[in-house]
Chains A and B, each alone.
Chain A
Amino acid sequence: GAGVSQSPSNKVTEKGKDVELRCDPISGHTALYWYRQSLGQGLEFLIYFQGNSAPDKSGLPSDRFSAERTGGSVSTLTIQRTQQEDSAVYLCASSSLPGNEQYFGPGTRLTVT
């Protein structure tokens, strides 16, 4: 079956613009995670969705970051007023249940100029 997909694969944006990153998890997976991979910070957790429960936003670095998950499937991560320090690879993962292994998508490389 299909794995986790993400789009776009690359995004270049100007400082101050808003961007939306999309994640399509593995069909049937109820748990969805966003992580960020950057040179300075390594791999860090951003936000977690489980079913229809309120998301765990404890990893979001600022209020410019938000995410939603529609219909328990596709998720969108939105970064408003992008800054250069937002440049990173944004990875999405899904899991059949929380606590099971997470399967990662290929990531979206965001470059803020």
Chain B
Amino acid sequence: AQSVTQPDIHITVSEGASLELRCNYSYGATPYLFWYVQSPGQGLQLLLKYFSGDTLVQGIKGFEAEFKRSQSSFNLRKPSVHWSDAAEYFCAVGADNAGNMLTFGGGTRLMVKP
């Protein structure tokens, strides 16, 4: 069975600083990987996805993520954080069955200092 680990429960960065959120997965084959963001009281919004091909994927709101098979990682990055990026971020992997239901990491809560 697949699993996802987000090692950082909380991260605080200053506005304008760069950001990297870590995600490690355990999976037997080529995974489908996703990053979602959740603002307080809101549902999950898809930031970006990796299915195959180019290992550097671009998403919305200036985010990008890089798939590294050798490290079983799919870290999320942003060059310059805005105060509106404060939220909880979830990494997820799609199951290797017909349904492709998602297994989520525990989430990383991002706080942005002015």
Residues from chain B with a CB closer than 8 A to the CB of A99 are 32, 94, 100
The answer, among A45, A48, A98, A104, for a CB contact under 8 Å with B44, is: A104
- The verdict on A42 contacting chain B, using a C-beta distance below 8 Å, is yes
CA distance in complex: A56, B44 (Å)? 22
Residues from chain A with a CB closer than 8 A to the CB of B101 are 33, 45, 48, 56, 59
Count: A-B pairs, CB below 8 Å: 52
Q: Is the CB of B43 within 8 A of A31?
A: no
CB distance from A19 to the nearest CB of B (A): 19
Residues from chain A with a CB closer than 8 A to the CB of B43 are 4, 91, 104-107
Interface members, chain A 82-113 (any B CB < 8 Å): 91, 93, 95, 98-99, 101-107
Residues from chain A with a CB closer than 8 A to the CB of B98 are 50, 98
CB distance from B1 to the nearest CB of A (A): 11
Residues from chain A with a CB closer than 8 A to the CB of B42 are 106
Q: Is the CB of B99 within 8 A of A48?
A: yes
Q: Is the CB of B100 within 8 A of A91?
A: no
Number of residues of chain B lying within 8 A (CB) of chain A: 23
Interface members, chain B 98-114 (any A CB < 8 Å): 98-107
The answer, among B32, B97, B104, for a CB contact under 8 Å with A42, is: B104
Q: Is the CB of B90 within 8 A of A43?
A: yes
The answer, among B34, B44, B45, B99, for a CB contact under 8 Å with A50, is: B99
Residues from chain A with a CB closer than 8 A to the CB of B44 are 91, 93, 104
For A33, give the chain B residue with the smallest CB separation: B101
Chain A: interface secondary structure?
strand
Best-surrounded residue of B46, B92, B99, B102 (most CB of chain A within 10 A):
B99
CA distance in complex: A31, B106 (Å)? 24
What 1/0 mask marks residues of chain A from 33 to 54 whose CB sits below 8 Å from any chain B CB? Answer: 1010000001111001010000
CB distance from A1 to the nearest CB of B (A): 16
Residues from chain B with a CB closer than 8 A to the CB of A33 are 99, 101-102
Residues from chain B with a CB closer than 8 A to the CB of A31 are 99-100
14 A-B pairs, CB-CB below 8 angstroms? A43-B107, A44-B104, A48-B99, A48-B101, A50-B99, A91-B43, A99-B94, A99-B100, A101-B34, A101-B46, A104-B43, A106-B42, A106-B43, A107-B43
